[in-house]
Amino acid sequence: MALENQFVIDSLKQGDHSVLRRIYKETQKEFQQWSFSQYNLPNTEAEEIFQNTVIIFYEKVISGNLDLSSNWKTYLFAIGKNKIREYIRVSGRSSSIEALTRTESIHEIEEDEMEVEVQAALVIKCIDKLGPPCKDLIVAYYYHKMALEDIGVKFGYKNSNSAKNQKFKCMQRLKDLFLKQYHP
């Protein structure tokens, strides 16, 4: 079962470290695979950056400086992306991961995190503008994690391939809406 934003925030603020361990275990491999596929980052560096990322995320939750309008995992990965970019910039001058920690710019991280939050809020607005059936299909698939077979049955599609095709068309509409409204 996926961890909900409010549950994560409340649990961490109450000192429930089992949630932090669960976040770590559930996202570690995915983060390493993602960092390798997107940035060609070796596992050892990815692991250290991931540990730093989880610590930053935890500190933001505990301090109350975290207002999630997007999924906690999206926010965690945004922090990680910024840490990886910083590592790549620093690694030209030094191969040490400690250099990354010393030269971390909180201002840059917060700006990138705010941008992710702005984008996430815009995506939510765009989903609302889609209307049925696209809004319902996207919410069912991405938010409720329904299988395409179940979506096909629920929304009356001929089969899962029809549901998959409709999801693709809806995502294209969403992308078009987003790009018309997003101005970085």
**Host domain of residue 89:** 1-109
C-alpha span between 161 and 148 (Å, rounded)? 8
Which pTM was predicted?
0.51
Residue whose C-alpha is closest to residue 71's, from 146, 137, 6, 141: 6
Query: Given its phi and psi angles, is residue 156 left (phi above 0), alpha (psi -120 to 50 degrees) or beta?
Result: left
Q: What is the CATH number of the domain that holds 58?
A: 1.10.1740.10
Which of 37-46, 66-75, 112-121, 175-184 is predicted most confidently?
A: 37-46
Indicate if 19 and 78 belong to the same structural domain.
yes
Least confident of 31-45, 65-79, 93-107: 93-107
Indicate if 71 and 137 belong to the same structural domain.
no
Q: Express each pLDDT in 19-59 by its tens digit.
A: 888 888 888 999 989 888 888 888 888 899 999 888 888 88
Domain-located, residue 154 = yes
Q: What is the pLDDT of residue 133?
A: 87
Indicate if 141 and 101 belong to the same structural domain.
no
- Across the range 129-138, mean pLDDT stands at 87
Q: How many domains does the chain have?
A: 2
Indicate if 86 and 156 belong to the same structural domain.
no
Domain-located, residue 9 = yes
C-alpha span between 18 and 121 (Å, rounded)? 29
Query: Percent helix, strand and coil across the chain, each rounded to 5?
Result: 80, 0, 20
* CA separation, residue 55 to residues 12, 70, 76, 82, 181 (Å): 12, 19, 10, 14, 34
Q: Express each pLDDT in 3-24 by its tens digit.
A: 787 888 888 888 888 888 888 8
Cβ contacts of 84 within 8 Å, gap of 6 or more:
35, 38, 39, 41, 46, 49
Q: What is the pLDDT of residue 110?
A: 58
